[in-house]
Amino acid sequence: MNKTILGYVPEESPIYSLHPFVRVYFLMVVSLWPMIISSPEWNFALIVVMLILLEYSRVTLSTLKLYVPVSISMGVLILLSYTILGGRHPEFYEVFNLLGVPIYFERIVAAVEVYMRILPMIFVMVFFLSTSRERDILVAMRWARVPFTVTYLVAMSLRAVGMVIEDFSIVRQAEKARGYDPKGKSIPYKLRQFVMYIIPLMGLAIRRSEEFSNALVARGYSFTGLRRVKRPDYVLTKYHFKVLDGVIVAILSVALIALVYARYGLGLFTLEGSLTMKWLQQWLVGGAG
């Protein structure tokens, strides 16, 4: 099993036949698609595609459970922002009145549009984090010729995240060993306890910064390696950018351009022309709008 940022994926997952740069490119490009597409059903289709890709990549789909609360709270907030907190607009069609607050059809449609834009973007992010190892991100950056100092800062940061998580669990275990059990305690109590985590974590980081930099200096690290020598990139020799990788990058790029043209040149993927809009109209307005 390969340990990815969000979990584990089998080594024989087909996703690993692709160059890591393709995955980073996928994240950056496909995250843009929902911003261009207004039509909720097309964004829903993208969610389905992402689910298929997650399954095809043999990602454990239970990972998605983590994002259920966030997705729900986001949906509720968007809906609140567009309905109850959306102000009074006599020009809009009032579907019903909730304790004196008018709920407009146009606002509900807009909330659905926005929510259906944000969801596939989350799925793209989850797909990326579920299938990528820290090393993949570095390889992608190095392959794209990002300066070494930047890639190294990213590498150390990702390493630091892992280290802090380890420290965090050690501090928690130490607390448990001293009889602290957060179960059933109030949120203010838990937040107070959070202080007990943040101070040792910070203290450990300060101590580690010295050890870490000594270790780097002792192995000849400087901002640019030995400065006068060209720094080789051994890791990159382990990865090969194949024809298939090039084809996928090309398809993603062309699809983005085509999407921009379709949306802004041909007027496709709009909210007005969407099936969701028509269905909502029938359901909420009954054809009156």
Partner 1 sequence: MDREEIWEVEAGEERRPGIIHIVITALLIGIGAVVGAFGSFTLPLGFGVNFFWPAIAVQNIGGIWYGAWGIIAAALFPIISNGIAGTPVYVSLAYIPANAFQSFAPAWAFRRFKADPRLKSGRDWLIFLVSITIGNIFGAFWGPLVVLKGFGLLTAESVPLFIWGWFAGNEIAGIVFGVILLKALSGVVINTTSFVKKWWA
Partner 2 sequence: MSAVIKFEHYSWKYTRTKVPALQDINLEIEEGALVGIIGPNDSGKTTLAYSMNGLIPNQYYGVRSGSVYVMGKEVKEYRQAELCQRVGLVFSDPEAQFTAMTVEDEVVFGMENLGLSIEEIERRLEWVVPLTDIGPLMDKPPYEVSGGQKQRVALASVLAMQPPILVLDEPTSMLDPIGRKKVFEVLRRLKEEYKSTIVVIEHSLEHLVPLADHMVLVHNGKVLLADETEPFFERMDFLMEHDVFPPGVMEFFFQLRLLGHYPNSLPLPRTLEEGTERLREMLVGGENG
Q: Which residues bind partner 2 (CB under 8 A)?
A: 3, 133-135, 138, 155-156, 158-159, 162-163, 166, 208, 210-222, 225-227, 229-235, 237
Report which residue type is found at 245: D
Shortest CB 163 distance to partner 1, Å:
6
Q: Pick from 4, 6, 105, 130 the residue near partner 1 by CB under 8 A.
A: 6
Shortest CB 149 distance to partner 2, Å:
13
Contact status: 231 vs partner 1 (CB under 8 A): no
3-state secondary structure of 132: coil
User: Of the listed pieces 47-55, 174-182, 206-214, 224-232, which binds partner 1 according to CB under 8 A?
Assistant: 206-214
Residue 220 or 265: which CB sits closer to partner 1? 220
Contact status: 193 vs partner 1 (CB under 8 A): no
Rounded Cα–Cα distance for residues 28 and 109 (Å): 27
Nearest to 94 by CA among 85, 82, 106: 106
Look up tokens 């202080």; give the residue.
Answer: 195
Rounded Cα–Cα distance for residues 74 and 273 (Å): 25
Rounded Cα–Cα distance for residues 79 and 96 (Å): 15
Rounded Cα–Cα distance for residues 70 and 123 (Å): 12
171's contact among partner 2, partner 1, none, with CB below 5 to 8 A by partner kind, is none
Contact status: 173 vs partner 1 (CB under 8 A): no
Contact status: 31 vs partner 1 (CB under 8 A): yes
Q: Pick from 2, 13, 60, 71 the residue near partner 1 by CB under 8 A.
A: 71
Q: With beta carbons less than 8 A apart as the criterion, state whether 20 and 132 touch.
A: yes
199's contact among partner 2, partner 1, none, with CB below 5 to 8 A by partner kind, is partner 1
Rounded Cα–Cα distance for residues 121 and 35 (Å): 9
Report which residue type is found at 214: N
Q: Which long-range contacts link 102-108 to residues 24+ away (Cβ below 8 Å)?
A: 105/280, 105/281, 105/284, 105/285, 105/289, 107/82, 107/83, 108/79, 108/82, 108/83, 108/280, 108/284
22's contact among partner 1, partner 2, none, with CB below 5 to 8 A by partner kind, is none
Q: Which two tokens stand for residue 222?
A: 């400087």
DSSP state at residue 37: -
The full length of the chain comes to 289
Q: Pick from 191, 229, 243, 288 the residue near partner 1 by CB under 8 A.
A: 191
Shortest CB 233 distance to partner 2, Å:
7
Q: What is the CA radius of gyration of the chain?
A: 24
Contact status: 101 vs partner 1 (CB under 8 A): no
Q: Pick from 25, 42, 57, 86 the residue near partner 1 by CB under 8 A.
A: 86
Contact status: 15 vs partner 1 (CB under 8 A): no
Q: Under the rule (CB under 8 A), what is the footprint of partner 1?
A: 5-6, 27-28, 31-32, 35, 66-67, 69-71, 73-74, 77-78, 80-82, 85-87, 107, 110, 113-114, 117-118, 121-122, 124-126, 129, 149, 152-153, 156-165, 168, 191, 194-195, 198-199, 201-203, 205-206, 208-210, 212-213, 216-217, 221-223
